[in-house]
């Protein structure tokens, strides 16, 4: 049986440089980054991508106090996506809605906060919060969204390191095709900037970016790149089966064309370009396309010296020199690495290209690393192109998880 066609019908997001798709896109086309300095416990001032959405737009003060930042970001993005989709939410059967949220990690923020809290009381654990367990369970971000929305269908997170944003979308498409739900709210989120551990961990790996100018700190493909800018963020979509979306006259942003997920099985942290290339090739094959049919490749590149080169190696192996209509960009150069939200946010930033035929550039490339000099790289200035019918989005993560998602212009 032919699988159902799955379409994107709503987008809700918060990024360090925008709290709606329109604002985010405008800043990507205007070269506006969203990195700032932030005081990190034990570490002092660090570079970070901080979101400035209005949490009280969709939550009570008590929900914000009791819940987590990850839960708050999830609620904001879910509510914004639903509003954008124009679904009649009051009439929607809530038991037929699934919430599938990718996250890199969850619980570190709250655990660190509690340890810091009890340190003020001589480490007496009777001062440990009774909210610790509901805040740190791995399903917390999706659970908070289900509470806020009254969704009684399945709501859970998908732990997939920094590939998680794509995984949220992929898993949702699978669940829609299986008939498990009729509407999926899916994507990825991250609260990681609120844990010192992630900054300290990257610093110990010599993989934490430094730069005098925050806006220039995240610089994939540049010779002077020196690591990751840690960011928070979220992007959730509404996904529906095509027939359901058409029946209610929904705006369709794109159709899920293909995807693939695989594992390196080679190292805890070092990427594996052979497996990455296999993942990209398989996603293109499963979409019924060839590499030359891909018009935008949004890279995962995080601005680590080695990781960028390895992804470029994988892309070169798949696309070679024979894909003149393939344009390659990177969104982390604006917003840093939004971890579990990265894949979902970076896809969203490119979706408007189906309408405006503009490929947003990779900014901050003052001196292109020859090892990253791919044909088709869009550097520093937006590029108006003749055709954008397909977008391929790479998201890779630690422990060697690779994900590639392809969306295509919707054509009935």
User: Binding segment for other proteins among 120-128, 159-167, 223-231, 373-381 (CB under 8 A)?
Assistant: 120-128
Write down the residue that tokens 């020196």 correspond to.
226
60 binds other proteins (CB under 8 A): yes
Query: Residues 32, 43, 50, 66: which binds other proteins (CB under 8 A)?
Result: 66
384 binds other proteins (CB under 8 A): no
The Cα 141–Cα 330 span in angstroms is 27
Check if 58 is active-site.
no
Q: Tell me which of 171, 295, 337, 360 is the catalytic residue.
A: 337
The Cα 331–Cα 316 span in angstroms is 19
Contact 35, 217 (CB under 8 A): yes
Check if 337 is active-site.
yes
Interaxial angle between packed helices 140-149 and 69-85, expressed in degrees from 0 to 180 and rounded to the nearest 10:
50
125 binds other proteins (CB under 8 A): no
User: Binding segment for other proteins among 55-63, 228-236, 266-274, 315-323 (CB under 8 A)?
Assistant: 55-63
User: Binding segment for other proteins among 123-131, 249-257, 271-279, 361-369 (CB under 8 A)?
Assistant: 123-131
Interaxial angle between packed helices 342-350 and 164-178, expressed in degrees from 0 to 180 and rounded to the nearest 10:
80
Query: Residues 1, 39, 61, 90: which binds other proteins (CB under 8 A)?
Result: 61
Half-sphere exposure of 167 (CA within 13 A, CB side): 25
131 binds other proteins (CB under 8 A): yes
Tell me the closest approach of the beta carbon of residue 61 to other proteins, in angstroms.
4
Judged by DSSP in three states, 254 sits in strand
Check if 300 is active-site.
yes
* Number of CB atoms found within 10 A of residue 338's CB: 34
Query: Which residues 6+ apart lie within 8 Å of 169 measured at CB?
Result: 186, 187, 237, 239, 256, 259, 343, 344, 347, 405
126 binds other proteins (CB under 8 A): yes
User: Binding segment for other proteins among 40-48, 122-130, 154-162, 372-380 (CB under 8 A)?
Assistant: 122-130
Q: Which is nearer to other proteins, 66 or 274 (CB)?
A: 66
Q: Tell me which of 77, 103, 162, 279 is the catalytic residue.
A: 162
Query: Residues 62, 122, 212, 249: which binds other proteins (CB under 8 A)?
Result: 62
Strands in 183-190's sheet, in edge-to-edge order, are 155-159, 97-103, 183-190, 233-241, 6-14, 254-263, 401-408, 390-397, 296-298, 327-329
Active-site positions? 162, 300, 337
- Which stretches of the chain bind other proteins, using CB under 8 A? 60-62, 65-66, 121, 126-127, 129-131
């Amino acid at each position: 049986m032919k699988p159902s066609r799955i379409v994107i019908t709503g987008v809700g997001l918060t990024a360090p440089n925008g709290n709606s798709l329109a604002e985010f896109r405008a800043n990507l086309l205007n070269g506006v980054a969203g990195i700032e300095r932030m005081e990190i416990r034990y570490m002092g001032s660090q570079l970070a991508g901080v979101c400035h959405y209005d949490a009280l737009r969709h939550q009570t003060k008590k929900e914000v106090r009791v819940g987590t930042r990850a839960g708050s970001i999830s609620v904001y993005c879910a509510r914004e996506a639903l509003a954008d989709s124009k679904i009649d939410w009051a009439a929607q059967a809530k038991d037929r809605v699934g919430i599938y949220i990718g996250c890199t990690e969850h619980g570190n923020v709250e655990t660190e906060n509690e340890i810091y809290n009890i340190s003020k009381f001589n480490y007496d654990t009777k001062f440990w919060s009774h909210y610790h367990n509901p805040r740190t369970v791995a399903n917390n971000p999706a659970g908070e969204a289900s509470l806020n929305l009254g969704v009684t269908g399945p709501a859970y997170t998908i732990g997939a390191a920094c590939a998680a944003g794509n995984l949220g979308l992929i898993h949702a498409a699978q669940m829609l095709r299986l008939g498990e739900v009729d509407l999926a709210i899916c994507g990825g989120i991250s609260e990681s900037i609120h844990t010192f551990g992630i900054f300290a961990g990257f610093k110990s790996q010599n993989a934490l970016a430094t730069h005098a100018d925050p806006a220039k700190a995240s610089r994939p493909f540049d010779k002077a790149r020196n690591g990751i800018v840690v960011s928070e963020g979220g992007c959730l979509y509404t996904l529906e089966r095509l027939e359901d979306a058409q029946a209610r006259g929904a705006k369709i942003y794109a159709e899920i064309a293909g995807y693939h997920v695989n594992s390196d099985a080679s190292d805890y942290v070092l990427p594996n370009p052979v497996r990455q290339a296999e993942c990209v090739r398989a996603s293109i094959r499963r979409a019924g396309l060839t590499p030359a049919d891909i018009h935008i490749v949004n890279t995962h590149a995080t601005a680590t010296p080695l990781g960028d080169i390895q992804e470029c190696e994988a892309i070169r192996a798949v696309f070679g020199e024979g894909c003149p209509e393939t344009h390659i960009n990177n969104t982390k150069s604006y917003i840093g690495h939004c971890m579990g939200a990265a894949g979902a946010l970076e896809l969203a930033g490119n979706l408007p290209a189906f309408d405006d035929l503009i490929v947003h550039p990779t900014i901050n490339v003052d001196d292109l690393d020859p090892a990253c000099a791919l044909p088709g790289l869009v550097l520093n200035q937006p590029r108006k192109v003749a055709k954008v019918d397909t977008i391929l989005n790479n998201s890779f993560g630690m422990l060697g998880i690779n994900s590639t998602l392809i969306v295509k212009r919707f054509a009935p």
